[in-house]
Amino acid sequence: MEILTTQVAIIGAGPAGLLLGQLLYKAGIEHIIIEQRSADYVSSRIRAGILEQVSVDLLKQAGVDQHLKEKGLPHSGIEILTNGQKHRVDLSALTGGKQVTVYGQTEVTKDLMAARETAQLRSFYEAKNVQVKDFYGTPKVHFEYQGQVLQINCDFIAGCDGYHGVCRASVPEDQIKTFEKVYPFGWLGILADVPPVADELIYVQSERGFALCSMRSETRSRYYLQVPLTDRVEDWSDDRFWEELKCRLDPESREHLVTGASIEKSIAPLRSFVTEPMRFGKLFLAGDAAHIVPPTGAKGLNLAASDIAYLSTALIQYYVEGSDQGINEYSEKCLQRVWKAERFSWWMTHLLHRFETETEFEHKIKQAELSYILGSTAGKTTLAENYVGLPYEIKTIPEPCA
């Protein structure tokens, strides 16, 4: 067995793990990333594409925002289509100039991987049988790599390995509590090289179900339809998808919709999920390992980024300032923001989707609530403040000691 030593072992090379690694590198903190999937698989996963301003700021601090500045699409508003009419929510006007940026998670991942390769930082992709051990004492990570058994001795373990990862599963059941809500539908998503139907995202509440018109660039669009969980991707030809989307849009949007062959198509189930706490001795959970949100509020990647902001700050305080404060406060600070984002995502999902179990009375109440929100400056401000992202402090990373 080969034994390696580092300060922080990061499990998972998704955006959370890669961003943490980049921030620790900038601060001169040693770390190693261990990932069970291949680098090609990680860099090709299709995920969300809306970044809050604080997430953009964090990527800038990490030094990986060059392509984001060149290719990202700043959006100052969104549109909500209900009862056949579109209503614009002016995010910037309602939040003192804040906005969101359309930039795919796939691109964020590629930018972080490129920065890591340039800095020649150590990563193990396609690691097998990953195990995290002794995180209440002297942490260790065991795994197999290219036929060898390796052990990493470290001070801390960062569990950034997603909902199905090994880190959360390794915590004793009596030390952890989970909260979950599973929704009775999924999102059928299609990616196509066609221009977006509008300059801004359109959230659609219709009698036929929810739809979302989004984009990845000025020439690549991402569309979603609410579908039953019993549906399969094979049930939906491209033609059927486009026809159903047209049925949920208003006449103007239907006229401007450009259709084309899909380059990716998938159905994602929706769930809300939270783990408490997010720290177990010297093991920290971050991102999807600790929480899942339905994509309606565009919070998944952004919550992962805020976790990493808190965790990187805590580790830098520990190594640079000799303080345990950030480590001790990590879980509480994260969960305060997590639950607010969970509430917003649940609310948006409940408001815009059609539930088979809802009565006509409940449906009318939702229609009235949406009508109130869109007709009230206070209501739209509440929506806008949550959509652009609730604030948190990003501390400047000190330069590493010579």
Q: Mark whether 295 is an active-site residue.
A: yes
Q: What is the pLDDT of residue 402?
A: 43
Q: What is the pLDDT of residue 398?
A: 62
- Strand-by-strand arrangement of the 2-5 sheet: 2-5, 148-153, 140-145, 128-133
Tens of pLDDT along 178-205? 999 999 999 999 999 999 999 999 999 9
Q: What is the pLDDT of residue 145?
A: 95
Choosing among 3.30.1330.80, 3.50.50.60, 3.40.50.300, 3.40.630.10, the CATH entry for 2-73+103-182+271-352 is: 3.50.50.60
Cα 295–chain centre separation: 8
- Find the catalytic residue in 139, 282, 295, 310: 295
Transcribe 303-340 into DSSP letters: HHHHHHHHHHHHHHIIIII---HHHHHHHHHHHHHHHH
**Local confidence pLDDT in tens for the 402 residues of the chain:** 899 999 999 999 999 999 999 999 999 999 999 999 999 999 887 777 899 999 999 999 999 999 999 999 999 999 999 988 999 999 999 999 999 999 988 999 999 999 999 999 999 999 999 999 999 999 999 999 999 999 999 999 999 999 999 999 999 999 999 999 999 999 999 999 999 999 999 999 999 999 999 998 899 999 999 999 999 999 999 999 999 999 999 999 999 999 999 999 999 999 999 999 999 999 999 999 999 999 999 999 999 999 999 999 999 999 999 999 999 999 999 999 999 999 999 999 999 999 989 999 999 999 999 999 999 999 999 999 999 999 887 666 666 544
Q: Are 374 and 296 in contact (CB under 8 A)?
A: no
- Find the catalytic residue in 75, 86, 98, 282: 75
Measured distance CA(158)–CA(219) in Å, rounded = 37
Q: Mark whether 299 is an active-site residue.
A: yes
Q: What is the pLDDT of residue 51?
A: 95
- Strand-by-strand arrangement of the 100-102 sheet: 50-51, 100-102, 73-75
- Find the catalytic residue in 25, 103, 183, 203: 203
Q: What is the pLDDT of residue 289?
A: 97
Q: Mark whether 103 is an active-site residue.
A: no
Sort strands 283-285 and 279-280 into parallel, antiparallel or unpaired: antiparallel
Q: What is the pLDDT of residue 1?
A: 81
Measured distance CA(236)–CA(230) in Å, rounded = 12
Burial of 383: CB neighbours in 10 Å, binned 0-12, 13-18, 19+: buried
Q: Are 205 and 82 in contact (CB under 8 A)?
A: yes
Transcribe 120-176 into DSSP letters: T--EE-S-EEEEEE-TTSS-EEEEEETTEEEEEE-SEEEE-S-TT-HHHHTS-GGG-
Domain boundaries, the chain: 2-73+103-182+271-352
Cβ–Cβ contacts within 10 Å for residue 220, how many? 16
- Find the catalytic residue in 299, 333, 366, 380: 299
Q: Mark whether 265 is an active-site residue.
A: no
Specify whether the backbone of 84 is left (phi greater than 0), alpha (psi in -120 to 50) or beta: left
